[in-house]
Chain A
Amino acid sequence: MMRLSFLRTRSPGDIAFTIGLVIVCAVILFVTLYPIYFVMIASISDATMVATGRVWVWPQNISLFGYEQILEDGRIWTGYRNTIIYTVVGTAVNLLVTLPAAYALSRREFRPRRVLMFFFAFTMFFNGGLIPMYLLLRDLSLLDNWLVFILPSAVNVYNLIIARAFFENSLPEELYEAATIDGATYFQFFARMAVPLSMAIISVIGLYYLVQHWNDFFTGLVFVRTYDKQPLQIVLRDILISNQAFSGGAGGSGGSGGGSYAQQYADQIKYGVIVVSTLPVIILYPFMQRYFEKGVMIGSVKG
């Protein structure tokens, strides 16, 4: 930042401070990024080299064994397909429900909005808990039904509040008055003015919802039995954590394989699976990150 540049005088204390700062920042960066980097290089290195600790900086004896196994295994692709469907449909429903409501709640002349805000915000701090939710979904025949990934999470109150704050603070009131004089209704104003002028916030909460669906593990665990309907995260759990065998035979290490042959290959597949499942997020990340930050900023406006 420009504003700190006047601090750059060169007293010995300052130089020591700067050196300390550089070291601390380097450590922070290393600790954050190295584990991710290591998974990437380990996934394309020879399993024995990884297991014996000879992979640190560069991949060793490039081997795509893990990826070959993953490509042959149908489960990951079924999981991928399901997750993509749930994410796309889910996010669309989220936006269709959240944005109009946020706009309605942002209108200052709409008196019931205070009561409605309480109605929404209260659910952030108090809820019925797992079992009543389970029984409700059972009564609604949503157990083991793919709609369970879409409907119960249709509104996220935090996102609703962010969107409302944006509509309230960023749409000029004069614009609304001018549109009203021209005879625009709330529907028309929302569709023709509010939405086109709010692409920033729509991207932000769209991305929040997207990540939420992509990483959703809980719904599949508790509310879905049929394996064909399970999302990627459940498949990942079975491979990464429950050590279920791969169709190719490798992967089922049976737990404490003590550095055995099977264990090495199981780990090799795990590194590959981590990369395959996390890659979409990592690739999109540089493009998305400015939106995420914007969301936090808007959310911090007390509303």
Chain B
Amino acid sequence: MTAASPAQSRPRQRGAAALVRHARRYWQLWVMAAPAIAFVAVFAYVPMYGLQLAFREFDFSAGLTGGEFVGLKYFQQFFDSPQFWTLIRNTVVISLTTLVAGFVAPIALALIVNQVVGRTRKKFLQTATYLPHFISIVVIVGMLQVFLSPSSGLITRVAEFFGVTGVNFLGSSTFVSVYVISEVWQHCGWNSIIYLAALASVDTQLYEAARIDGAGRFTIIRHIDVPALVPTMIVLLILNMGNVLNTGFEKIFLMQNPLNLGVSEVIATYVYKIGILSNQFSYGTAIGLFNTLINFTFLVVTNQVAKRVSNTSLW
């Protein structure tokens, strides 16, 4: 112990005393938060710790953290694999199309529903359009299969009526369109709720003033309704960008068949097949990490850009 120690330990003692006071005052809050903290620590942070497996050889006895360090070997293997560009292309095409369509459609729907006069009618339209949101993915894909069946499907027959024959809608040429349209069909109504809420909070005096100035209904939509939605749009756009490579694993996996695999194999389904089905744990982890990092970068960049441009951001 040196001479300086008494002087140093005083703040430490004060720190300890503060800690005791904090514990005495707030221990009940800690107890209430503890289970949630524990669950998130185990089921979210331990897997993050396990990401080091991407840089290590998988070792059955070592488990989650892996064995010998191999650096970027598995990333290299992924970049060099013949699948790499196909996977990137498929993932980007599917997720960008979904992102754009899934972003625009709810806004359009909210603007339309907002024009409907009468509370009951508006409510009915809104409620009806978000019903499909609660149908499970398995059932949605099941419905797509019976409706698009080449022999007897409802939509196939409607298409034939309009002169489109011989198309297998579940094949590769229309896979992306079918995926995106069904996504919009299922989630458009639900995602428009938040925009409708924003529209409901527009000051009615604005409409009155615009009306007196002789503005038509389209002009009012363009100059009052749309600007009212911009802050919400930006927040949702940032959130969506953070998922740009997170294509819905379940739906794509269920929609896959030998005919469309060339356009429907995406990073998420590939990780499942490599990692879980063929037990290449390290390789699968590396591909998954690559995907997560790209998403995270997109999120951070979009957030920064939004902050610069519009002063709206997540953090």
Contact = CB atoms under 8 A, between A and B. Distances in A.
Number of chain A interface residues as a range: 35 or more
Contacts of B75: none
B138 A240 contact: yes
A132 to B, nearest CB: 3
A7 interface: yes
Given A97-B36, A126-B296, A285-B131, A25 B112 contact: yes
Contact of B32 (A120, A186, A292): A186
Number of chain B interface residues as a range: 35 or more
A222 B272 contact: yes
A129 B33 contact: no
Interface string B253-283: 1100000000000001001100110000100
Most buried by A among B46, B242, B268, B281: B46
A254 interface: no
A222 B53 contact: no
A160 B33 CA distance: 11
Given A21-B112, A281-B134, A135 B281 contact: yes
Nearest to A243: B145
A6 B145 contact: no
B51 A128 contact: yes
A33 B53 contact: no
A128 B151 contact: no
B128 A33 contact: yes
A298 B94 CA distance: 31
Contact of A101 (B32, B129, B295): B32
A1 B202 CA distance: 13
A278 B296 CA distance: 35
B105 to A, nearest CB: 11
A213 B118 CA distance: 36
Contacts of B125: 25, 28-29
B112 A128 contact: no
Interface string B28-52: 1110110111011011111111110
Interface string A86-119: 0000000000111011011101001100001001
B29 A110 contact: yes
A123 B134 contact: no
Given A131-B276, A214-B136, A240-B139, 20 more contacts: A7-B117, A7-B211, A21-B115, A29-B125, A38-B154, A104-B30, A110-B29, A126-B296, A128-B50, A129-B288, A129-B289, A130-B284, A130-B288, A136-B46, A136-B50, A186-B26, A215-B134, A215-B138, A217-B136, A270-B146
Interface of A: 1-8, 13-14, 17, 21, 24-25, 28-29, 31-33, 35-36, 38-39, 50-53, 96-98, 100-101, 103-105, 107, 110-111, 116, 119-120, 123, 125-136, 138-139, 151-152, 154-155, 157, 160, 185-187, 190, 211, 214-215, 217-218, 221-222, 233, 236-237, 240-241, 256-259, 263-264, 267, 270-271, 273-274, 277-278, 281-282, 285-286, 289, 292-293, 296-297, 300, 302
